[in-house]
Amino acid sequence: DGRVRGVGREPMTLVEKILAKGARKPRVKPGENIWVDVDVLMTHDVCGPGTIGVFKREFGHDARVFDREKIVIIPDHYIFTADERANRNVDILREFCTEQDIKYFYDITDRSNFKANPDYKGVCHVALAQEGHTRPGEILFGTDSHTCNAGAFGQFATGIGNTDAGFVMGTGKLLVKVPATMRFTFNGQMPDYMLAKDMILQTIGDIGVAGATYRAMEFAGDVMQQLSMEERMTLCNMAIEAGGKNGLIAADETTFKYLDGKTNKPFEVFHTDEGAAFHSDRTYDIAKLEPVVAKPHSPDNLDLARNCRDIKTDRVYIGSCTGGKTEDFIAAARILQGQKVSVPTFLVPATQKVYEDVQNVRINGETLAKIFADAGCIDPASPSCAACLGGPKDTFARLNEPEVCVSTTNRNFPGRMGSKEGSVFLASPYTAAASAITGYVTDPREVYDFDKTTRHSAEMLREN
Protein backbone atom coordinates (compact mmCIF):
# COMPACT_ATOMS: atom_id res chain seq x y z
CA ASP A 1 0.00 0.00 0.00
CA GLY A 2 1.39 3.39 -1.03
CA ARG A 3 0.43 4.87 2.31
CA VAL A 4 3.49 3.30 3.92
CA ARG A 5 5.86 5.23 1.65
CA GLY A 6 7.64 7.73 3.86
CA VAL A 7 6.86 5.94 7.14
CA GLY A 8 9.45 6.86 9.75
CA ARG A 9 10.35 9.96 7.74
CA GLU A 10 8.92 13.41 7.35
CA PRO A 11 5.27 13.30 6.23
CA MET A 12 4.62 13.75 2.49
CA THR A 13 1.74 15.03 0.41
CA LEU A 14 -0.05 12.97 -2.23
CA VAL A 15 1.87 14.52 -5.14
CA GLU A 16 5.21 14.10 -3.36
CA LYS A 17 4.53 10.37 -2.81
CA ILE A 18 3.62 9.80 -6.46
CA LEU A 19 6.73 11.62 -7.68
CA ALA A 20 8.94 9.81 -5.14
CA LYS A 21 7.70 6.51 -6.55
CA GLY A 22 8.36 7.72 -10.12
CA ALA A 23 11.87 8.82 -9.11
CA ARG A 24 12.50 5.57 -7.22
CA LYS A 25 13.35 7.57 -4.12
CA PRO A 26 12.08 7.14 -0.54
CA ARG A 27 11.24 10.85 -0.33
CA VAL A 28 11.17 14.06 -2.36
CA LYS A 29 10.68 17.69 -1.35
CA PRO A 30 9.10 20.69 -3.09
CA GLY A 31 11.62 22.51 -5.26
CA GLU A 32 13.75 19.41 -5.81
CA ASN A 33 14.56 18.53 -9.45
CA ILE A 34 14.12 14.82 -10.09
CA TRP A 35 14.12 12.38 -13.01
CA VAL A 36 10.90 10.36 -13.12
CA ASP A 37 9.79 7.29 -15.05
CA VAL A 38 6.80 8.07 -17.27
CA ASP A 39 3.86 5.65 -17.19
CA VAL A 40 1.89 7.20 -20.07
CA LEU A 41 2.65 9.84 -22.71
CA MET A 42 -0.33 11.28 -24.60
CA THR A 43 -0.27 13.49 -27.67
CA HIS A 44 -2.84 14.65 -30.22
CA ASP A 45 -3.16 16.11 -33.72
CA VAL A 46 -2.08 19.65 -32.82
CA CYS A 47 1.15 18.85 -30.95
CA GLY A 48 1.77 15.29 -32.16
CA PRO A 49 3.50 16.20 -35.44
CA GLY A 50 5.82 18.65 -33.64
CA THR A 51 6.61 16.05 -30.97
CA ILE A 52 7.35 13.44 -33.63
CA GLY A 53 9.61 15.96 -35.40
CA VAL A 54 11.61 16.58 -32.21
CA PHE A 55 11.84 12.84 -31.53
CA LYS A 56 13.24 12.07 -34.99
CA ARG A 57 15.60 15.04 -34.98
CA GLU A 58 17.08 14.16 -31.58
CA PHE A 59 17.03 10.36 -31.61
CA GLY A 60 17.41 9.66 -35.34
CA HIS A 61 15.07 9.04 -38.24
CA ASP A 62 14.96 5.29 -37.59
CA ALA A 63 14.74 5.51 -33.77
CA ARG A 64 12.11 3.50 -31.92
CA VAL A 65 9.88 4.91 -29.15
CA PHE A 66 10.67 3.89 -25.56
CA ASP A 67 7.53 1.73 -25.24
CA ARG A 68 4.86 1.27 -27.92
CA GLU A 69 2.26 0.49 -25.24
CA LYS A 70 2.90 3.57 -23.08
CA ILE A 71 2.24 6.15 -25.80
CA VAL A 72 -1.37 7.08 -26.47
CA ILE A 73 -2.15 9.14 -29.58
CA ILE A 74 -5.60 10.71 -29.87
CA PRO A 75 -6.68 12.93 -32.80
CA ASP A 76 -9.31 15.30 -31.38
CA HIS A 77 -8.65 19.02 -31.91
CA TYR A 78 -9.04 20.02 -35.56
CA ILE A 79 -10.82 17.01 -37.04
CA PHE A 80 -14.08 17.91 -38.76
CA THR A 81 -12.69 20.59 -41.06
CA ALA A 82 -11.71 20.98 -44.70
CA ASP A 83 -8.48 22.69 -43.61
CA GLU A 84 -5.69 20.81 -45.43
CA ARG A 85 -3.00 21.46 -42.83
CA ALA A 86 -5.26 20.20 -40.05
CA ASN A 87 -6.03 17.05 -42.08
CA ARG A 88 -2.34 16.54 -42.80
CA ASN A 89 -1.59 16.55 -39.06
CA VAL A 90 -3.78 13.47 -38.60
CA ASP A 91 -2.04 11.79 -41.56
CA ILE A 92 1.35 12.40 -39.88
CA LEU A 93 0.09 10.74 -36.69
CA ARG A 94 -1.18 7.75 -38.68
CA GLU A 95 2.12 7.29 -40.54
CA PHE A 96 4.09 7.45 -37.29
CA CYS A 97 1.80 5.02 -35.45
CA THR A 98 2.08 2.53 -38.31
CA GLU A 99 5.87 2.89 -38.41
CA GLN A 100 6.22 2.50 -34.62
CA ASP A 101 3.39 -0.02 -34.17
CA ILE A 102 1.81 2.19 -31.50
CA LYS A 103 -0.81 0.12 -29.67
CA TYR A 104 -3.15 2.94 -28.65
CA PHE A 105 -3.88 5.12 -31.68
CA TYR A 106 -7.51 6.21 -31.90
CA ASP A 107 -7.67 6.95 -35.62
CA ILE A 108 -10.24 8.66 -37.83
CA THR A 109 -10.22 8.26 -41.61
CA ASP A 110 -13.84 9.06 -42.59
CA ARG A 111 -14.49 12.63 -41.43
CA SER A 112 -17.93 12.72 -43.09
CA ASN A 113 -19.31 10.24 -40.54
CA PHE A 114 -17.44 9.83 -37.27
CA LYS A 115 -19.51 6.73 -36.47
CA ALA A 116 -17.82 4.91 -39.37
CA ASN A 117 -14.55 5.07 -37.41
CA PRO A 118 -14.75 2.49 -34.61
CA ASP A 119 -11.33 3.49 -33.25
CA TYR A 120 -12.08 7.23 -33.11
CA LYS A 121 -12.77 8.46 -29.60
CA GLY A 122 -12.80 12.26 -29.42
CA VAL A 123 -11.50 14.66 -26.77
CA CYS A 124 -8.22 13.22 -25.47
CA HIS A 125 -8.67 13.86 -21.74
CA VAL A 126 -12.09 12.24 -21.55
CA ALA A 127 -10.99 9.41 -23.87
CA LEU A 128 -7.92 8.69 -21.69
CA ALA A 129 -10.23 8.09 -18.72
CA GLN A 130 -12.88 6.13 -20.62
CA GLU A 131 -10.30 3.86 -22.24
CA GLY A 132 -8.54 3.02 -18.97
CA HIS A 133 -5.29 4.98 -19.38
CA THR A 134 -5.68 6.92 -16.12
CA ARG A 135 -4.62 5.04 -12.99
CA PRO A 136 -3.85 5.99 -9.36
CA GLY A 137 -0.21 6.49 -8.44
CA GLU A 138 1.00 6.82 -12.03
CA ILE A 139 2.73 9.65 -13.89
CA LEU A 140 1.01 10.86 -17.05
CA PHE A 141 2.33 13.58 -19.34
CA GLY A 142 0.41 15.00 -22.28
CA THR A 143 1.08 17.67 -24.89
CA ASP A 144 -1.99 19.56 -23.75
CA SER A 145 -2.45 21.85 -20.78
CA HIS A 146 -5.65 20.12 -19.64
CA THR A 147 -3.82 16.82 -19.09
CA CYS A 148 -4.23 17.73 -15.39
CA ASN A 149 -7.80 16.37 -15.84
CA ALA A 150 -6.45 12.88 -14.98
CA GLY A 151 -5.39 14.01 -11.50
CA ALA A 152 -8.96 13.09 -10.54
CA PHE A 153 -7.68 9.50 -10.41
CA GLY A 154 -5.06 10.19 -7.75
CA GLN A 155 -2.19 10.39 -10.20
CA PHE A 156 0.33 13.02 -11.28
CA ALA A 157 -0.84 14.35 -14.64
CA THR A 158 0.34 17.52 -16.31
CA GLY A 159 0.84 19.15 -19.68
CA ILE A 160 4.25 19.44 -21.35
CA GLY A 161 5.62 20.99 -24.55
CA ASN A 162 6.65 19.21 -27.74
CA THR A 163 10.36 19.23 -26.83
CA ASP A 164 9.78 17.51 -23.50
CA ALA A 165 7.34 15.09 -25.16
CA GLY A 166 9.88 14.25 -27.87
CA PHE A 167 12.40 13.47 -25.13
CA VAL A 168 9.89 11.28 -23.24
CA MET A 169 9.05 9.50 -26.50
CA GLY A 170 12.68 8.39 -26.81
CA THR A 171 13.61 7.78 -23.16
CA GLY A 172 10.49 7.26 -21.04
CA LYS A 173 11.86 9.76 -18.54
CA LEU A 174 11.55 13.46 -17.74
CA LEU A 175 13.16 15.96 -15.38
CA VAL A 176 10.53 17.47 -13.10
CA LYS A 177 10.61 19.99 -10.28
CA VAL A 178 8.55 18.75 -7.34
CA PRO A 179 5.64 21.18 -6.81
CA ALA A 180 4.54 22.42 -3.41
CA THR A 181 0.92 21.53 -2.60
CA MET A 182 -1.97 23.94 -2.12
CA ARG A 183 -4.85 22.12 -0.44
CA PHE A 184 -8.48 23.10 -1.07
CA THR A 185 -10.88 21.42 1.36
CA PHE A 186 -14.60 21.46 0.60
CA ASN A 187 -16.81 20.38 3.51
CA GLY A 188 -20.55 19.96 4.03
CA GLN A 189 -23.45 18.63 1.95
CA MET A 190 -23.32 19.64 -1.71
CA PRO A 191 -26.48 21.65 -2.56
CA ASP A 192 -28.63 20.34 -5.41
CA TYR A 193 -27.97 23.45 -7.55
CA MET A 194 -24.17 23.23 -7.30
CA LEU A 195 -21.84 21.46 -9.73
CA ALA A 196 -18.09 20.85 -9.68
CA LYS A 197 -17.68 23.60 -12.30
CA ASP A 198 -18.97 26.14 -9.77
CA MET A 199 -16.41 24.88 -7.25
CA ILE A 200 -13.43 25.25 -9.56
CA LEU A 201 -14.53 28.63 -10.92
CA GLN A 202 -14.93 29.84 -7.32
CA THR A 203 -11.44 28.57 -6.48
CA ILE A 204 -9.83 30.20 -9.52
CA GLY A 205 -11.69 33.44 -8.81
CA ASP A 206 -10.40 33.42 -5.24
CA ILE A 207 -6.72 32.77 -5.98
CA GLY A 208 -6.41 34.18 -9.53
CA VAL A 209 -5.08 32.71 -12.77
CA ALA A 210 -1.53 32.82 -11.40
CA GLY A 211 -2.52 31.84 -7.86
CA ALA A 212 -1.25 28.26 -8.11
CA THR A 213 1.66 28.76 -10.51
CA TYR A 214 3.79 25.60 -10.59
CA ARG A 215 2.01 24.17 -7.57
CA ALA A 216 -0.11 21.05 -7.08
CA MET A 217 -3.75 21.76 -6.22
CA GLU A 218 -5.06 18.95 -4.02
CA PHE A 219 -8.83 18.87 -3.57
CA ALA A 220 -10.06 17.26 -0.34
CA GLY A 221 -12.89 17.24 2.20
CA ASP A 222 -16.33 15.63 2.67
CA VAL A 223 -17.54 16.87 -0.70
CA MET A 224 -15.04 14.77 -2.68
CA GLN A 225 -16.85 11.57 -1.61
CA GLN A 226 -20.09 13.10 -2.94
CA LEU A 227 -18.59 13.73 -6.38
CA SER A 228 -18.58 11.24 -9.26
CA MET A 229 -15.40 10.65 -11.26
CA GLU A 230 -16.65 12.97 -14.00
CA GLU A 231 -17.22 15.79 -11.50
CA ARG A 232 -13.78 15.18 -10.00
CA MET A 233 -12.35 15.45 -13.51
CA THR A 234 -14.05 18.85 -13.91
CA LEU A 235 -12.33 20.06 -10.72
CA CYS A 236 -8.86 18.84 -11.68
CA ASN A 237 -9.26 19.80 -15.35
CA MET A 238 -9.12 23.53 -14.61
CA ALA A 239 -6.16 23.49 -12.20
CA ILE A 240 -4.20 24.87 -15.14
CA GLU A 241 -6.50 27.92 -15.29
CA ALA A 242 -5.16 28.82 -11.83
CA GLY A 243 -1.61 28.35 -13.12
CA GLY A 244 -1.34 24.99 -11.37
CA LYS A 245 1.22 22.35 -12.32
CA ASN A 246 -1.44 19.74 -11.65
CA GLY A 247 -4.65 19.05 -9.76
CA LEU A 248 -5.37 15.87 -7.86
CA ILE A 249 -7.82 14.02 -5.64
CA ALA A 250 -6.92 10.91 -3.63
CA ALA A 251 -8.32 7.69 -5.11
CA ASP A 252 -11.13 5.90 -3.27
CA GLU A 253 -13.92 3.38 -3.89
CA THR A 254 -15.52 5.69 -6.48
CA THR A 255 -12.24 5.66 -8.41
CA PHE A 256 -11.90 1.87 -8.24
CA LYS A 257 -15.50 1.36 -9.37
CA TYR A 258 -14.95 3.63 -12.38
CA LEU A 259 -11.75 1.79 -13.34
CA ASP A 260 -13.31 -1.66 -12.95
CA GLY A 261 -13.32 -3.28 -16.39
CA LYS A 262 -11.37 -0.39 -17.98
CA THR A 263 -7.86 -1.46 -16.97
CA ASN A 264 -6.24 -4.65 -15.73
CA LYS A 265 -2.93 -3.05 -14.79
CA PRO A 266 -2.12 -3.00 -11.07
CA PHE A 267 -1.84 0.43 -9.48
CA GLU A 268 -0.70 1.92 -6.19
CA VAL A 269 -2.88 4.20 -4.08
CA PHE A 270 -1.36 7.11 -2.14
CA HIS A 271 -2.76 9.53 0.41
CA THR A 272 -1.41 12.72 1.95
CA ASP A 273 0.13 12.04 5.36
CA GLU A 274 -1.18 13.73 8.46
CA GLY A 275 1.17 16.55 9.28
CA ALA A 276 2.37 17.00 5.68
CA ALA A 277 3.46 20.52 4.81
CA PHE A 278 1.31 22.62 2.46
CA HIS A 279 2.10 25.84 0.65
CA SER A 280 -1.41 26.95 1.65
CA ASP A 281 -4.58 25.43 3.07
CA ARG A 282 -7.99 26.84 2.15
CA THR A 283 -11.34 25.53 3.40
CA TYR A 284 -14.82 26.05 1.95
CA ASP A 285 -18.27 25.41 3.39
CA ILE A 286 -20.01 24.12 0.25
CA ALA A 287 -23.46 25.14 1.53
CA LYS A 288 -22.39 28.79 1.39
CA LEU A 289 -21.34 28.67 -2.28
CA GLU A 290 -23.61 29.64 -5.15
CA PRO A 291 -23.67 29.17 -8.95
CA VAL A 292 -20.99 31.40 -10.47
CA VAL A 293 -19.60 32.47 -13.83
CA ALA A 294 -16.23 33.68 -15.05
CA LYS A 295 -16.90 36.87 -17.00
CA PRO A 296 -14.81 37.92 -20.03
CA HIS A 297 -11.91 37.81 -20.58
CA SER A 298 -10.36 35.67 -17.87
CA PRO A 299 -11.25 32.49 -15.94
CA ASP A 300 -10.64 34.36 -12.66
CA ASN A 301 -13.12 37.18 -13.44
CA LEU A 302 -15.57 35.70 -10.95
CA ASP A 303 -19.14 36.78 -10.29
CA LEU A 304 -22.33 35.20 -9.01
CA ALA A 305 -24.54 34.10 -11.90
CA ARG A 306 -27.45 35.99 -10.31
CA ASN A 307 -25.48 39.23 -10.53
CA CYS A 308 -25.23 38.97 -14.33
CA ARG A 309 -28.92 38.93 -15.32
CA ASP A 310 -28.44 42.14 -17.31
CA ILE A 311 -26.10 40.41 -19.78
CA LYS A 312 -27.86 39.03 -22.83
CA THR A 313 -26.34 35.99 -24.50
CA ASP A 314 -26.37 35.28 -28.24
CA ARG A 315 -25.67 31.58 -27.88
CA VAL A 316 -24.91 28.76 -25.47
CA TYR A 317 -22.22 26.09 -25.90
CA ILE A 318 -22.13 22.80 -23.98
CA GLY A 319 -19.01 20.76 -24.68
CA SER A 320 -15.22 20.31 -24.21
CA CYS A 321 -13.03 18.23 -21.89
CA THR A 322 -14.36 20.35 -19.03
CA GLY A 323 -18.07 20.45 -19.83
CA GLY A 324 -18.88 17.90 -22.53
CA LYS A 325 -18.99 14.66 -20.54
CA THR A 326 -22.09 12.47 -20.15
CA GLU A 327 -22.95 13.93 -16.75
CA ASP A 328 -22.63 17.48 -18.10
CA PHE A 329 -25.33 16.65 -20.66
CA ILE A 330 -27.49 14.98 -18.01
CA ALA A 331 -27.25 18.19 -15.94
CA ALA A 332 -28.17 20.37 -18.93
CA ALA A 333 -31.07 18.06 -19.86
CA ARG A 334 -32.42 18.24 -16.31
CA ILE A 335 -32.83 22.00 -16.68
CA LEU A 336 -34.04 21.92 -20.31
CA GLN A 337 -36.64 19.15 -19.94
CA GLY A 338 -40.04 20.60 -20.79
CA GLN A 339 -38.49 24.01 -21.59
CA LYS A 340 -37.56 25.85 -24.80
CA VAL A 341 -34.26 27.54 -25.58
CA SER A 342 -34.42 31.15 -26.75
CA VAL A 343 -30.91 31.30 -28.29
CA PRO A 344 -28.93 28.87 -30.49
CA THR A 345 -27.67 26.12 -28.20
CA PHE A 346 -24.74 24.02 -29.42
CA LEU A 347 -24.03 20.55 -28.01
CA VAL A 348 -20.64 18.89 -28.57
CA PRO A 349 -20.20 15.51 -26.86
CA ALA A 350 -16.57 15.02 -25.83
CA THR A 351 -16.28 11.46 -27.14
CA GLN A 352 -18.08 8.88 -29.23
CA LYS A 353 -19.21 7.18 -26.01
CA VAL A 354 -20.67 10.46 -24.70
CA TYR A 355 -22.47 10.92 -28.04
CA GLU A 356 -24.02 7.46 -27.63
CA ASP A 357 -25.03 8.30 -24.06
CA VAL A 358 -26.78 11.45 -25.28
CA GLN A 359 -28.79 9.25 -27.65
CA ASN A 360 -29.56 6.52 -25.10
CA VAL A 361 -29.46 7.76 -21.49
CA ARG A 362 -32.90 8.66 -20.12
CA ILE A 363 -34.08 10.96 -17.38
CA ASN A 364 -37.77 11.02 -16.46
CA GLY A 365 -38.50 8.58 -19.28
CA GLU A 366 -36.97 10.65 -22.10
CA THR A 367 -33.57 10.32 -23.78
CA LEU A 368 -31.24 13.28 -23.46
CA ALA A 369 -31.36 13.62 -27.28
CA LYS A 370 -35.16 13.94 -27.23
CA ILE A 371 -35.05 16.48 -24.38
CA PHE A 372 -32.53 18.59 -26.31
CA ALA A 373 -34.47 18.28 -29.60
CA ASP A 374 -37.78 19.20 -27.95
CA ALA A 375 -36.12 22.20 -26.29
CA GLY A 376 -34.95 23.43 -29.71
CA CYS A 377 -31.22 22.79 -29.33
CA ILE A 378 -29.05 22.26 -32.41
CA ASP A 379 -28.43 18.53 -33.01
CA PRO A 380 -25.37 17.18 -31.15
CA ALA A 381 -22.20 17.56 -33.21
CA SER A 382 -19.45 15.06 -33.98
CA PRO A 383 -17.29 14.49 -30.88
CA SER A 384 -14.20 16.70 -30.78
CA CYS A 385 -12.75 19.81 -29.15
CA ALA A 386 -14.75 21.85 -31.73
CA ALA A 387 -15.14 25.56 -30.86
CA CYS A 388 -13.61 25.43 -27.37
CA LEU A 389 -10.39 26.71 -28.90
CA GLY A 390 -11.70 28.36 -32.05
CA GLY A 391 -10.02 26.33 -34.76
CA PRO A 392 -10.36 26.69 -38.53
CA LYS A 393 -13.17 28.97 -39.77
CA ASP A 394 -15.45 26.01 -40.59
CA THR A 395 -15.28 24.55 -37.05
CA PHE A 396 -18.70 23.70 -35.59
CA ALA A 397 -20.09 26.47 -33.34
CA ARG A 398 -16.98 28.67 -33.74
CA LEU A 399 -17.57 32.30 -32.78
CA ASN A 400 -17.14 33.93 -36.19
CA GLU A 401 -18.94 37.11 -35.10
CA PRO A 402 -18.53 39.37 -32.05
CA GLU A 403 -21.16 37.45 -30.08
CA VAL A 404 -21.75 36.72 -26.39
CA CYS A 405 -21.57 33.03 -25.51
CA VAL A 406 -22.30 31.24 -22.23
CA SER A 407 -20.12 28.16 -22.33
CA THR A 408 -19.21 25.09 -20.26
CA THR A 409 -15.63 25.29 -21.58
CA ASN A 410 -12.48 26.34 -19.70
CA ARG A 411 -11.04 29.56 -21.13
CA ASN A 412 -12.49 32.89 -22.18
CA PHE A 413 -9.49 34.93 -23.31
CA PRO A 414 -10.09 37.18 -26.35
CA GLY A 415 -10.27 34.99 -29.46
CA ARG A 416 -10.30 31.71 -27.55
CA MET A 417 -13.52 30.50 -29.22
CA GLY A 418 -12.89 32.33 -32.50
CA SER A 419 -13.64 36.02 -32.87
CA LYS A 420 -11.41 38.33 -30.81
CA GLU A 421 -14.45 40.56 -30.39
CA GLY A 422 -16.48 37.71 -28.89
CA SER A 423 -17.31 37.53 -25.18
CA VAL A 424 -17.36 34.19 -23.37
CA PHE A 425 -18.89 33.56 -19.95
CA LEU A 426 -17.67 30.31 -18.41
CA ALA A 427 -20.39 28.46 -16.50
CA SER A 428 -21.63 25.11 -15.23
CA PRO A 429 -24.00 23.02 -17.40
CA TYR A 430 -26.88 24.05 -15.09
CA THR A 431 -26.12 27.75 -15.55
CA ALA A 432 -25.51 27.36 -19.29
CA ALA A 433 -28.83 25.54 -19.79
CA ALA A 434 -30.69 28.10 -17.68
CA SER A 435 -29.15 30.91 -19.75
CA ALA A 436 -30.22 29.14 -22.96
CA ILE A 437 -33.83 29.28 -21.77
CA THR A 438 -33.87 32.94 -20.73
CA GLY A 439 -31.41 34.43 -23.22
CA TYR A 440 -29.36 36.09 -20.49
CA VAL A 441 -26.81 34.91 -17.91
CA THR A 442 -29.02 33.07 -15.43
CA ASP A 443 -28.67 31.43 -12.03
CA PRO A 444 -30.23 27.97 -12.58
CA ARG A 445 -32.39 28.44 -9.45
CA GLU A 446 -34.31 31.07 -11.39
CA VAL A 447 -35.72 28.55 -13.89
CA TYR A 448 -35.58 25.24 -12.01
CA ASP A 449 -36.97 24.17 -8.64
CA PHE A 450 -34.03 22.35 -7.05
CA ASP A 451 -34.44 19.98 -4.11
CA LYS A 452 -33.84 21.84 -0.86
CA THR A 453 -32.77 18.75 1.10
CA THR A 454 -31.15 16.23 -1.26
CA ARG A 455 -28.68 16.56 -4.09
CA HIS A 456 -29.77 14.73 -7.23
CA SER A 457 -26.51 13.65 -8.83
CA ALA A 458 -26.32 12.59 -12.46
CA GLU A 459 -26.11 8.99 -11.26
CA MET A 460 -29.44 9.41 -9.45
CA LEU A 461 -31.05 11.15 -12.41
CA ARG A 462 -30.12 8.68 -15.14
CA GLU A 463 -32.35 5.70 -15.76
CA ASN A 464 -29.92 3.48 -17.66
Q: Quick one: pLDDT at residue 391?
A: 86
Predicted pLDDT of residue 2: 45
pLDDT of residue 326: 98
What φ, ψ does residue 34 adopt, rounded to 5°?
-135, 150
- Taking only the tens of pLDDT, the chain with its 464 residues reads 444 444 457 999 999 999 999 999 999 999 999 999 999 999 999 999 999 999 999 999 999 999 999 999 999 999 989 999 999 999 999 999 999 999 999 999 999 999 999 999 999 999 999 999 999 999 999 999 999 999 999 999 999 999 999 999 999 999 999 999 999 999 999 999 999 999 999 999 999 999 999 999 999 999 999 999 999 999 999 999 999 999 999 999 999 999 999 999 999 999 999 999 999 999 999 999 999 999 999 999 999 999 999 999 999 999 999 999 999 999 999 999 999 999 999 999 999 999 999 999 999 999 999 999 999 999 999 998 889 988 888 998 899 999 999 999 999 989 999 889 999 999 999 999 999 999 999 999 999 999 999 999 999 999 86
Cα–Cα distance for residue pair 325/123, rounded to 1 Å: 10
Peptide bond into 297 cis (omega under 30): yes
DSSP, collapsed to helix, strand or coil, labels residue 52 as: helix
Q: Give how far the C-alpha of residue 219 lies from the chain's centroid of Cα atoms, to the nearest Å.
A: 15
Distance of CA 455 to the CA centre of its chain: 23
The predicted structure's pLDDT at residue 314: 97
Q: Where does 110-227 have alpha helices with state H?
A: 124-130, 162-171, 196-207, 222-226
Q: What residues contact residue 338 under an 8 Å CB cut-off, 6+ apart?
A: 374
What pLDDT score was predicted for residue 9? 76
Tell me, what's the pLDDT at 201?
A: 98
DSSP assignment of 233-244: HHHHHGGGGGT-
Single-letter amino acid, residue 446: E
Residue ranges of alpha helices (H) inside 243-325 are: 253-259, 320-323
* Res 3: pLDDT: 43
